[in-house]
A and B are shown apart, each in its own frame.
Chain A
Amino acid sequence: MAKIIYVEHNGNSHTVNVDNGLSVMEGAVQNNIPGIDGDCGGGMSCATCHVYVKEEWFDKLEKKLDGEEDMLDQAYEPKKNSRLSCQITVSEELDGLIVNMPEKQV
């Protein structure tokens, strides 16, 4: 289990414990955290679970798969530190991970 901190675009912060093996997107959806939609259910085909990850955490995450960057092209305001939260798997090492949400997903 890891503590994940979800920060909405307006600054509202939500800290929840997410089980290992779940994705950061699932952690948000299961805990009704606004700002992460996950429309396609984690299939890396909709870009509605887009988050920004600060550098210190960004480098600790597993590298992106091929399709993720392609999908991020279609996200709302993608940046260098953009990730799809459905592609970040929670583990003990991610305890304290902070993800920031874009203004909107669609």
Chain B
Amino acid sequence: MIKTDALIIGAGPTGLFTAHQLKIIGLDCEIVDNLDKAGGQCIELYPDKPIYDIPAIPECTGEELTKNLLDQLKPFNINFHLGERVDELKKNEVNWEVKTNKGKTFLTPNVIIAGGVGSFEPRRFSPKECEQFEDKSIFYSIKNKKIFEGKTVSIFGGGDSALDWAVELSKNSKVNLIHRRDEFRGAQATLDKVHELQKSGKIELFTKYQLKTVKGNGTLESIDIEHENKEIKNLKSDYVLGFFGLIMQLGPIANWGLNLNKKTVEVDTEKFETNQKGIYAIGDICNYPGKLKLILSGFHEGALAARACFKLARPNEKYRFEFTTSSKTIKERLGVKSD
């Protein structure tokens, strides 16, 4: 069990800056994020797109913003729990007991949800019958490529993941690559390689096709794919892989007894606290009159939520407001010299 003053769910810009605010005022924190890297939407959705409305930064990309926020956290020793999703949250006397899908448990008086539009999950195939084969014959990511050796693998998608895996798995497997249109958005070099492998018979390419249904009794046997013109082909397949990118799902947050409004969590504007004491929501996921989904609003919300955390984490101490320019205590925490 990990004890901490505050647990931050979400390592996007709002979560990262809130960690900074907590450390500045002398609180510990831990950060959990379902993605395998920090940055949230900035890094997952638009790493290369310039952002023009971060105060005092005329222009920066999502990736640069993330890097700068991480640099700002360097003076502090903060534990990141990446690739983990918070699944359960329950009250344990004055604290919250928080469990992740990897079996970690946190005990903390403060939980700060900085979850954006929810957690990123792979987009799945639409035919319902796919569910029964999921994690057995149908996968959305690859953990162990050995299982595909000598098998027939049907790969769906048109981006780099689909192309890269088609090339890689064609070494030891029979590969079908299926995409909904003629153009691929993956790297040209990989696409050239795919065409080469197609000519040598290592990869069979089906374009303008999508998955219609999957067939099998317990284990997957074959799949039907449907052409734009409705023609159907049956392909023998031992495994099916889908690479359609990530979507954002509110996920387990919906089960924590919070007041929800569509996909957002209702909070007050003093502490950014939800209807549950000690649970805060900040950034894109929170909602209050006048809410703007701007990164700068997330920073403000995080700064206030951090001060609210102080009261619950240090019930016997009085919070003292100080500036980083003048406070000796803060400078010590930052590891910089006082004047």
Establish whether residues A106 and B45, one from each chain, have CB atoms under 8 Å apart when the complex forms.
no
Main DSSP-derived SS at the A contact region? loop
Minimum CB–CB distance for A75 against chain B, Å: 8
Q: A46-B247, A76-B126 are in contact. Are A69 and B181 (CB under 8 A)?
A: yes
Quick one: which of B239-272 are within 8 Å of A by CB? Answer: 244-245, 247-249, 263
Contact partners of B180 in chain A: CB under 8 A = 73, 78
A78 neighbours in B (Cβ, 8 Å): 180, 210
Q: Which of B159, B185, B249 contacts A106 (CB 8 A)?
A: B249
Chain B 145-182 interface 0/1 with A at a Cβ cutoff of 8 Å (1 = within): 00000000000011100000000000000000001110
Does residue A77 face the partner (Cβ distance < 8 Å to B)?
yes
A72 to chain B, nearest CB (A): 8
Asked if B248 and A46 sit within 8 Å, CB to CB, the answer is yes
User: Is B157 in contact with A41, judged by CB distance below 8 angstroms?
Assistant: no
Residue A11, interface by CB 8 Å: no
Q: How far apart are B194's CB and chain A's nearest CB, in angstroms? A: 16
Bound state CA distance, A78 and B245, in angstroms? 14
Q: A43, B185: Cβ atoms under 8 Å?
A: no
Query: Within 8 Å of chain A (Cβ to Cβ): is B293?
Result: yes
Residues of B contacting A37 in the complex (Cβ-Cβ under 8 angstroms)? 263
| A43–B45 CB distance below 8 A | yes
Give A74 to B210 CA distance when docked, in angstroms. 12
Query: Is A43's CB under 8 angstroms from B248's CB?
Result: no
Q: Using CB atoms, name the residue of chain A closest to B127.
A: A77
CB distance from B296 to the nearest CB of A (A): 15
- Residue from B41, B183, B263 in contact with A40 in the complex, judged by beta carbons closer than 8 Å: B41
Q: Which of A41, A70, A80, A106 contacts B293 (CB 8 A)?
A: A41
Complex: chain B residue closest to A37, CB-CB: B263
Query: Could you mark each residue 43-57 of chain B with 1 if its beta carbon is under 8 Å from any beta carbon of chain A, else 0?
Result: 001100100000000
Q: Is A48 among interface residues, defined by CB-CB distance under 8 A?
A: yes
Whether B126 contacts A73 by the Cβ 8 Å rule is no
Determine which residue in B45, B157, B263 has the highest number of CB atoms from chain A within 10 A of its CB, and name it: B45
Q: Which residues of B contact A77 (CB under 8 A)?
A: 126, 210
**Interface flag for B117 (CB, 8 Å):** yes
Number of interface residues of B (CB under 8 A): 24
Using C-beta atoms within 8 Å of the partner chain, give the interface range for chain A.
Answer: 10 to 19
Report yes or no: B46 in contact with A45, Cβ–Cβ below 8 A: yes
- The yes or no answer to B123 lying at the interface (CB within 8 A) is yes
Residues of B within 8 A of A74 (CB): 123, 244-245, 247
A39 proximity list for chain B (CB < 8 A): 117, 248, 263
A41-B293, A43-B46, A43-B49 known; A80+B228 contact, CB < 8 A: yes
Considering residues B126, B228, B247, which has the most beta carbons from chain A within 10 angstroms of its beta carbon?
Answer: B247
A43–B248 Cα gap in the complex (Å)? 14
On whether the beta carbons of B123 and A106 are closer than 8 Å, the reply is yes
Q: Indicate if the CB atoms of B46 and A73 lie closer than 8 Å.
A: no
Partner of B244, one of A43, A46, A69, A73: A73
In whole angstroms, what is the CA distance A73 to B45 when docked? 15
Contact at A73–B185, with CB atoms within 8 Å? Answer: yes
Chain B residues contacting A47 (CB-CB under 8 Å) are: 245, 247
Q: Is the CB of A48 within 8 A of B247?
A: yes
Q: Give the interface of A toward B (CB within 8 A).
A: 37, 39-41, 43, 45-48, 69-70, 73-74, 76-78, 80, 103, 106
Task: Identify the 8 closest CB pairs spanning chains A and B, nearest first.
Answer: A74-B245, A45-B45, A70-B185, A106-B247, A39-B117, A74-B244, A73-B158, A77-B126
